[in-house]
Each structure stands twice: as C-alpha cells, then as structure tokens.
Amino acid sequence: MTHVSFHEYSTLSAAEKAALLRRSETDISGFIEKVRPIIEAVRTEGDAAVARFGRDLDKADVTEKNLKVTPAEFDEAFGKVEREVVEAIEFSIANIRSFHEEQKPEAMWLKEIRPGAFAGDRFTPISSVALYVPRGKGSFPSVTMMTSVPAVVAGVPNLAIVTPPAPDGSVDAATLVAARLAGVETVYKVGGAQAVAAVAYGTETIGQALKIVGPGSPWVVAAKRELAGIIDTGLPAGPSEAVIFADDTVHGGLAALDLLIEAEHGPDSSAYLVTHSRRVAEEALAALPEHWARMSEQRVAFSSAVLSGPCGGIVLTGSIEESYAFVNAYAPEHLEILSEDPFAHLGHITEAAEILMGPHTPVSIANFALGPNAVLPTSRWARTYGPLSVTDFVKRSSIGYVTKSAYPQFAAHAHRLAVYEGFSSHAHAVSPVREQYLGKKG
C-alpha cells in the first residue's frame, strides 16, 4: 500500500503547519532561469524558434509552416471524437455560456451623482487575448471551454488558443471540437514557455496578444512572471490543488474518492482531506487502495505521489473550528464541503476560489459541466483573486459628464483641493480662466 501523508494538525509546530500551505510552484526560481533563453529566442527568431522548441522540448513534428491549425484539421477532429463526447461538450458549453451570460456587465451605466453631474462605467472587450490550454499530462477540452466561452461572451474580437502539439504534430481532437463549438477557430500548435513568449511578442504566424489566460505548468507560470511587463498574464493559475473538507456526517470513502480528483492531474498537484473526525480520516485511508485499483496506472502514480508527498495527504484537526482555520489559511483553488448540511459551514469559509457544496457536487462536475469557471487562482491567490470570468476579458472605463449648471459647484471644490495640494494647472483649469474660454466660440 502506498504511504499516505497523515498529519495530526494539533500536534504540529508552527513551522510544520506553515509547510502544509506550500505548493509545488511556490519556488519557481529554477524555472525562471530556464525560460529566459527560450523567451529571448522566440523574441528574436519568431516562428523558427517556436518550431524548434516544439521539436526539441515537446518532441513534436512541427515546422514553421504548420504551426497554425487548418480548417481541414478542425473538420477532421469532429470525425475523430465519439458522438457521446461531442454531446457532452455541447451540454457543458451550453451551461458555461448560460452562467457567463449572467456575469456579463451592462455595456454602460451612469448615475446622477449630484444634479447635473453624472458618473459611471463603460465596459468594452479587450481587443486580443490568447487562451492557454495545457496538454502535458492529458488533453483538456474542458480548459478550452472554460477559457473560450467567457471570452466569446465578452465579445473579444481576436481570440487564439495556444496548446502543445502531440508527437505527430496534431492538436487534441476534442480540444478542436470544443474550440469550434465555443466560437474560436484560431489555434496554434505551441505550448510551454515558448507559447507565452510567442503571444507576448508575436511571430510571423502567431498574432501578438494583449493578455493570456489559462492554467499551465511551472514552465508556463515562470514565463508569465518573466513576461508580466510585456503581456497581461491574468490570474495566477498553476498546477491543480484541492481541499476536501469533511465533517462527521459523511463516509470517509466518499472523501477519499474526491481527494483523488485533483491529485491525479500530476505529481506537482496539491490535495488534502481536512476533517476533525478520526473515523472519516481512517475510513478515507482505508478506501484509497480500492479507489486506486479502479484507476489507470499513470493516474495512480500521479495521485499517490501527491498524497505521499509534502503537498498532499490527510489532515486530522482537533475541532471543526481548526478545520475552518486550515481551509482559510490554505486558500484552495477547489474546495469541497462534504456534509449533509454544507450551508452550515459556508459562513465560516472566506478564502477559497471555488466552493462546492454537499456530496452531490464533486469537483468533476464543476470542472466540466456545471457552468462556473474552473480556471481558478492557485497558490493561495484565492485570497485576492476570483475565478476566470467575463470581466477578465473586458476592460472598464470610467465615464464622467458635468453639465453647465452643475459645473460651478464642482469647480469650486476642485479648485480648493488643487490649491491645497499645490497643483497650479489643476487649479487654473477650474478657475475664472476657464470661464473666459467657455464664453468664447471657437
């Protein structure tokens, strides 16, 4: 049986408790050094470097001439994906679109702040966004849906997906199906740090983007950090992580079942079961071998590495309050509240990007089909960021309009403050000097 890390939380030192909060990507300084030459090569060589890294790093059959997916490749993808899978993609996209349509802000609002003076906001789409869809440890049409749909709903006019190619130079067929059904038909065969660099600087084939969104490996995270001054890198979404919070009203085997969901993404994932019930903890520990027996060899290897390592396992707390404290300190990407009465716990949880309530709402349903976005902040960024949304694809402009009748009152107060702060031009712009010009016609 695989050893599973088991932590008696109340007995841990402050340093040991802090260690439980670390993620695999917390220190990516080593990756920063590795991505720098990749970024520089893409900046100076363009397509030639992108194709070369595709061959050298992804071991893929790509050239400068086939970096972009053709319409024929899109058409062929629909013939490669089973009808049931296409139907699942259609079902999920409909739900994701419905959810994000509700998020969409009104194009403009104005409020009369005082008689004759109006202020408000206007929302317009970002003109170009790149959507990163990972592939290293599997294929992710779900990420395609989660990034593409809100971008299309927001009205972004120039959208492109970047995703690592397979060894034969192809893009995952279901990813292409999801892209077309979501409304995106520009896909480039490039992943990793070179993808981030390509959309940041633009190449002969790959269009430059103002922003890139989507989760990725430490290589992608490192490239985003290095290029943050060149391209908007969006919310910090790195390797998968989850906390399964369970009270004493559920069976530990259920908690173990859901603990493996995010743990199977890869050895760089993070996953904890947190409970104050020893029975639940012991039942979960006992059930894990049964669950592993139903999984593929690769996913067993990934999840067992996580649960036996420093970023996963079972945390047995001394009280329900201590469980709440751990969850809030961890600020997970995904949080499940496994309880017959999950709403009794919801008010105690303030730091989580996604909160899934009750035994019938596993991360699986949220990742694929429920509607809320599954691209979420990781590494405790849930303390200041939320899930990817329509608002990530629009920018906000403040709108102000002061009428002739309202101007004198506002000008007087603005003049006083400008003089106090020592800004002469600010003051002159709302002084009798302005009134002289207002009385003249051009």
Residue listed under structure tokens 């709403």: 343
Residue listed under structure tokens 């009748």: 405
100 vs 183: CA distance, rounded Å: 14
Our answer to whether residue 334 is catalytic in this structure is yes
Q: Which of 226, 333, 336, 354 is catalytic?
A: 333
Residues with Cβ < 8 Å from 349, sequence gap 6 or more?
Answer: 245, 324, 327, 328, 335, 337, 355
To 10 degrees, the CA torsion angle through 160, 164, 168, 174?
-60
Our answer to whether residue 276 is catalytic in this structure is no
Output the six-digit token pair for 339: 């309880």
Distance from first CA to last CA of the chain, Å, rounded? 86
What CA–CA distances, in Å, run from 221 to 40, 50, 405? 16, 18, 53
Q: In angstroms, how far is CA 293 from the centroid of its own chain?
A: 31
Output the six-digit token pair for 217: 């490996």
Q: Report DSSP state, residue 84.
A: H
218-226 and 29-45 are packed helices; what angle lies between their axes, rounded to 10 degrees?
70
Please state the length of the chain: 442
Position 306, amino acid: V
What CA–CA distances, in Å, run from 430 to 118, 405, 422, 441? 18, 14, 14, 18
384 vs 196: CA distance, rounded Å: 24
State the pairing for strand pair 128-132/158-163. parallel
Q: Which of 276, 334, 345, 415 is catalytic?
A: 334
Contact assessment for residue 372 and residue 335, using Cβ atoms and an 8 Å cutoff: no
Q: For residue 434, with 0-12 CB atoms within 10 Å meaning exposed, 13-18 middle and 19 or more buried, which class applies?
A: middle
Contact assessment for residue 199 and residue 119, using Cβ atoms and an 8 Å cutoff: no
Q: Which residue from 286, 271, 277, 237 is spatially nearest to 392, judged by alpha carbons? A: 237
* Number of other residues whose CB lies within 10 A of the CB of residue 407: 16
Catalytic residue numbers, as ranges: 333-334
